[in-house]
Structure 1
């Protein structure tokens, strides 16, 4: 296990946190993570995080669901066990496609939703029975925590964080 030193700066207001993030980024420090009790609008942009590509995977998963639905219904209702339901002939898939549209829609949504949840968990490294990584339980209530790795003059960084409105600054050994 690798041990590194990080500074945890605690804030009590989301607006103060946003201003602090902008100032810390302007001073060219790398912010490792920010823990908040609720989503803070614009924080991802202020941190300089790249936009997510999960929407692209959702579209791909929806297309996979549509293909699976089409192949499944063609095999079941046309090739394997054609049935005369309500006087509709089962000679080809295209003749019966209007009746299959609800199933196609539902399987498209089903595949997109379920595979997106799995992708999100894998991408976020959230496994069943995984120990929580929250460094300070107060961040689930009313505090905000900014985690910055110590790479240079830690006193200068601590002073900067107090300038930005941090109510508490702690030097912590972080184990990865």
Structure 2
């Protein structure tokens, strides 16, 4: 049975499994690495690697998956030879996808941010212009109304009609 089975999950791209061989003598053995996204590994496990050769009793072994794994994961190691097999304890890890900003994307991000700021500024200027135009338009209507009232009073006074 594999001893000291450990799993280090830094992120979905950096998962490392390690164990020590605990087999002394007899036929050659190999290891199989499997995982599951369900805690019940025996029901729904997926094999990551088969036939990892045993380097010998007490020797350290390690394995890093070549595929990106995400979420809640349960790993196990199976040691087998022609006489049978044994399985390690199941080890849990949570692999979160690592988000990186590539230097290749920096000009795109900077351009998008600048464009967003310019757009926001134009929207604000448009709102200010619209409000100012509406205010001036109301002022002109008020002046026109006052002019009409004065003209009406002058006409009425010329005709001798007075209204109180």
Question: Normalized per residue, which structure has more helix?
Answer: 1
Q: TM-score range by the shorter chain?
A: under 0.3
Question: Normalized per residue, which structure has more strand?
Answer: 2
The structure number with the bigger radius of gyration is 2
RCO higher in 1 or 2 (8 Å CA, sep ≥ 6)?
1
Normalising by structure 1, we get a TM-score of 0.24
Normalising by structure 2, we get a TM-score of 0.25
